[in-house]
Amino acid sequence: MLQERDSTIAANPAARSDWTREQIAALFDLPFTELVFRAAEVHRAHHRAGEIQLCTLLSIKTGGCPEDCGYCSQSVKADSGIEATKLMEVQAVLQSAAQAKDNGSKRFCMGAAWRNPKERDMPAVIAMVKGVREMGLETCMTLGMLTPGQAKQLADAGLDYYNHNIDTSPERYEEVITTRTFADRLNTLDNVRAAGINVCSGGIVGMGETRADRVGFVHALATMEQHPESVPVNALVPVKGTVLGNMLADTPLAKIDDIEFVRTVAVARITMPLSMVRLSAGRESMSEATQSLCFMAGANSIFTGDKLLTAANAGDDADSAMFARLGLKPMEGEEPLRAMKAVGGCSGGCAA
């Protein structure tokens, strides 16, 4: 049976966009050590071993979001106690970026709790992008849905990445969010691509979904004509007052276990070999052993710092100590997909 299943899995680790759900499910079903071994092989074929990209995420506008995402403490539908704030002043954002750079971050990500940015906010957002880039940091923003014109404004300002997660599988999406569709998510990603901005898109696991949903989630990303340059894999941080936080408080067995989380990272690495796979939310509750398995399985990017938007994070000191114990070092070079695009060498999962 295992040999039959293995025959559906391509041996060539080069980027491809023709994965079937059956092939991805077969990867998930592999014995754990075999899956991690294969993912490590793919990782080393395309990335420098022992290097982890350090990124920092700042909430530049917190709370008051009109969306009803079941996992989000910043939704107006949530009773999480988070109060809405105004957009941060540009100088305050730049000060945070400078501190992140001093702490070793290479990419500075800025998130606003909006359904979509208003035109009145674009000048400040653009000033933030330009200011952070002048420091020598890569820039990333997540502001909700974008029109083609807004994507172009951000591209003209020099934005390196735009984050817009698909969150979960297409089939489960409406159980998590009802105020915008899965197609709306893809439309924003298309606008970002068309503007020439690199894409950061992943999702959240541990929301009570099945493995079939995780297969669908990875399949949706891995079959994009051009794979996302960054693929954040979040473990749900259940927040009391949110739909999913309340649900999982009553049904703790629905939470994803560590081995299944590592499997998800490994399958993402195999199916999207050139992308940066990032351990994102939920890392503060993971043991170093679990994080180590994730790194072995091909995760090569993390958010560092004490906070991710409104959720707690491991912190710079804890990460530095872990890196020292594991013999890891911060990544200095260029990400593979960006490097390939720079020289016009993209193919397969990196369409020109």
d(CA 220, CA 160): 23
| Catalytic member of 72, 294, 346, 350 | 72
**Do 51 and 224 contact (CB within 8 A), yes or no?**
no
The catalytically annotated residue of 38, 107, 140, 180 is 140
Q: For tokens 């000060």, what's the residue?
A: 95
Q: Which of 55, 109, 294, 350 is catalytic?
A: 109
Q: Which residues pair with 110 in a beta bridge?
A: 58, 141
Collapse the DSSP code of 107 into the 3-class scheme (helix H, G, I; strand E, B; otherwise coil) and give the result: strand
Active-site annotation holds for 350: no
Q: Out of 55, 69, 346, 350, pick the active-site residue.
A: 69
* Nearest C-alpha neighbor of 271 from the set 29, 18, 36, 31: 18
Choose, from 55, 180, 193, 200, the residue flagged as catalytic. 200
Query: How far is residue 270's CA from residue 148's CA, in Å, rounded to a whole number?
Result: 32
For the CA atoms of the chain, what is the radius of gyration?
A: 19
C-alpha 281/C-alpha 238 separation (Å) is 11
- Select from 45, 42, 87, 40 the least CA-distant residue to 63: 87
Q: Which two tokens stand for residue 107?
A: 């990419």
Which of these is catalytic: 55, 65, 294, 346? Answer: 65
- Is 69 known to be catalytic? yes
Q: Choosing from 278, 283, 346, 350, which is the catalytic residue?
A: 278
- Would residue 55 show up in a list of annotated catalytic residues for this protein? no
Active site residues: 65, 69, 72, 109, 140, 200, 278
